[in-house]
Amino acid sequence: MIADLMISGPEELFSRIPFAQFLNLRMEMAGNELTTILPFAPHLIGNPLLPALHGGTIGAFLELTATAQLSVFETFEQIPKPVNVSVQYLRSGKPIDTYARARINRVGRTIANVEAWAWQELREQPIATLQAHFLIC
């Protein structure tokens, strides 16, 4: 079971989650800022008429970004488990690379609150945002 694995950082986290590998997620660290990258691939299209990225792909990308952010700044014995996740879709995701960042709002004894946002061309124009609580014990 994934939740029972010890993790040492976001790189190891992404290597142990098959869906992160399927999405071909990458990450870049600049100082203390983690940016995750979802490279475009044709299999990520949900609506071929527009074309637009599948909403589930965007939601999973944001959730994995939030999980990676937690693993960068906190040390856990297990991968944090999402308790509740709320995704707000603001624009259609174009068939281009997508970027995301997350911010940890609060880490308690058992729950962490994280928000994340994804953008494509301009960081000031997110295509989706996420609010999530994670079980961290």
Q: What is the pLDDT of residue 33?
A: 87
Nearest CA among 64, 40, 36 for reference residue 52: 40
pLDDT digits (tens, 9 = 90+) for 18-72: 899 999 999 998 888 899 999 999 999 999 999 999 999 999 999 999 999 998 8
Structural contact between residues 27 and 11, judged by C-beta atoms closer than 8 angstroms: yes
Whole-number mean pLDDT of the chain? 89
**Cα gap 35→25, rounded to integer Å:** 11
Task: Work out the average pLDDT over 93-111.
Answer: 96
